[in-house]
Amino acid sequence: MAKRVAIVGTGQTFHKSHRPDVNGQELINEAVVKALADANLKMKDIDAIVIGNMDHFEGINYVDCWSVDGSGGTMKPIIKLTTGGTTGCTVAIGGYHLVGSGMFDKVLVIGWEKNSESDTTGAITTAFDPVWDRQVFAGAISGLAAEAQAYIARYGATDRDGARVSVRDRKHAMNNPYAQLRKEVTLEEVLASPMLADPIHLLDVCPRSDGACAVIMASEDTAEKICPKPDWIWATAARHTYSYLGDADFGRLTSMKEGSQELWKKAGIKEPRKEVDVIELYQPYSFGGLIWIEDMGIVGPGEAPRYIWDGNTDMGGELPINPSGGVIATNPIGATGLIRCAEAAMQVMGKAEGRQVPDVNFAFSSGFGGCFWTDMILHGKKKPK
């Protein structure tokens, strides 16, 4: 019964720091309407919906219920998936499972967030253990800073190396009309921006955004009829590694390492650096762009700074990373992982316009959660065997 699955349409909002002109379901509707138009489908063609966000950000639970007018979920099978920062990638993996099972032919996948509607640190804190972790918890940035410190201590990287990643992503965002922050910065500007938590400067981290993204998946029975060049999903992987914050192996992203090994194995990829053509990484801060591509096996441990300084991950380089500008330019958290998925799909489908990487055969997209969780998807131009 198992079916091959392809992405046949994508849609996203123009992401902003604040969208007071729409409420949640209206924001969701904007992305859904665009995805349907992209696939040239009507809501009646959709068999099921997967939707997700981090409800504690808005303080409104059950988006699967209250958004149906906007999501198209009225009188259709709809489920919510929510896994923290990885949510946007998890909803895509859930949609893949539904279509792949053969039980639903066309599935609409939605990720969204209105981060402007509450206090991000206050909301994120509720994701951690109230007795052991919350009493001394220091917000989302602190765990990332601790990861970066550990990496720096192990491999001798510097804050300049991190800043170089931020310069890259912010430059790439100039090509993406949907990105929230579209302003180039220099290395010096990143390093001169306020230190938030050593070694992370303000310009090393993502903003908070309001935005939504929708992706339509179809089985091999209809995918090529809907879209002549669909984006085939070759493999997915998900890894969650620990219970308490101190359990993590700081300086290495174990979930990324194990997940990507599974991904490469499933797709028969031996040298990801040569075989993958573009990466949309859920990278909420610059140092993740160093550490995590080592865990992916793109380069060896400690080799990322050199690889990035040499321009390999810039547009036009060997393996462009975040042509969209990535998370550093746009971060509506529950949508963020799905935006990575949609951007990777657009690269494979040849629809990425000003940010298109030429001749994409394989694209990688991921989701990351502040608990050092990673979800990921391998996208391909060819139909999987």
Question: Is the Cβ of residue 168 or residue 252 nearer to another protein in the bound state?
Answer: 252
Rule CB under 8 A: say whether 333 interacts with another protein. Answer: no
Question: Is the Cβ of residue 251 or residue 384 nearer to another protein in the bound state?
Answer: 251
Question: Is the Cβ of residue 170 or residue 252 nearer to another protein in the bound state?
Answer: 252
Identity at 314, one-letter amino acid code: D
What SS3 state is found at 213? strand
Rule CB under 8 A: say whether 197 interacts with another protein. Answer: yes
* Residue from 337, 381, 364, 344 nearest 264 by CA: 364
Q: What is the dihedral of CA 287, 369, 336, 367, to 10 degrees?
A: 80
Q: Is the dihedral of CA 183, 189, 190, 196 positive or negative?
A: negative
Range list of H helices, the chain:
24-39, 55-58, 63-66, 68-71, 87-100, 120-125, 140-155, 159-172, 187-192, 223-226, 254-267, 272-275, 288-295, 304-309, 326-329, 333-349
Residue of 17, 116, 149, 175 interacting with another protein (CB under 8 A): 149
Rule CB under 8 A: say whether 23 interacts with another protein. Answer: no
Question: Is the Cβ of residue 40 or residue 158 nearer to another protein in the bound state?
Answer: 158
- The angle subtended at Cα 289 by Cα 284 and Cα 292, nearest 5°, is 100
Rule CB under 8 A: say whether 196 interacts with another protein. Answer: yes
Contact 112, 24 (CB under 8 A): yes
Residue 38 C-beta: closest distance to another protein, Å: 36
Rule CB under 8 A: say whether 137 interacts with another protein. Answer: yes
Rule CB under 8 A: say whether 262 interacts with another protein. Answer: no
Size of the site for another protein (CB under 8 A): 40
Give the Cα separation of 313 and 326 in Å (integer). 13
Stretch that binds another protein, among 90-98, 128-136, 219-227, 329-337 (CB under 8 A): 128-136
Per-residue x/- marks for another protein, 279-308, CB under 8 A? ------------------------------
Rule CB under 8 A: say whether 156 interacts with another protein. Answer: no
Identity at 309, one-letter amino acid code: W
Rule CB under 8 A: say whether 122 interacts with another protein. Answer: yes
The DSSP letter of residue 85 is: B
Stretch that binds another protein, among 9-17, 92-100, 117-125, 279-287 (CB under 8 A): 117-125
Measured between its terminal Cα atoms, the distance across the chain in Å is: 15
Question: Is the Cβ of residue 37 or residue 138 nearer to another protein in the bound state?
Answer: 138
CB burial string 345-370: b at 16+ within 10 A, e below: bbbbbebbeebbbeebebbbbbbbbb
Per-residue x/- marks for another protein, 214-253, CB under 8 A? ----------------------------xxxxxxx-xx--
Rule CB under 8 A: say whether 138 interacts with another protein. Answer: yes
Q: Residue 1, exposed/middle/buried by CB under 10 A (0-12, 13-18, 19+)? A: exposed
Stretch that binds another protein, among 61-69, 194-202, 261-269, 318-326 (CB under 8 A): 194-202
- Half-sphere exposure in the Cβ direction for 56 (13 Å, CA): 15
Rule CB under 8 A: say whether 195 interacts with another protein. Answer: yes
Residues 6+ apart with CB under 8 A from 78: 48, 49, 50, 51, 64, 68, 71
Question: Is the Cβ of residue 145 or residue 308 nearer to another protein in the bound state?
Answer: 145
Residue 121 C-beta: closest distance to another protein, Å: 5
Structure tokens at 87: 């949510």
Stretch that binds another protein, among 189-197, 260-268, 272-280, 315-323 (CB under 8 A): 189-197
Question: Is the Cβ of residue 14 or residue 244 nearer to another protein in the bound state?
Answer: 244
- Half-sphere exposure in the Cβ direction for 104 (13 Å, CA): 22
Stretch that binds another protein, among 24-32, 97-105, 129-137, 208-216 (CB under 8 A): 129-137
Chain residues in the site for another protein (CB under 8 A): 59, 119, 121-122, 125-126, 130-139, 141-142, 145-147, 149-150, 153, 194-200, 242-248, 250-251
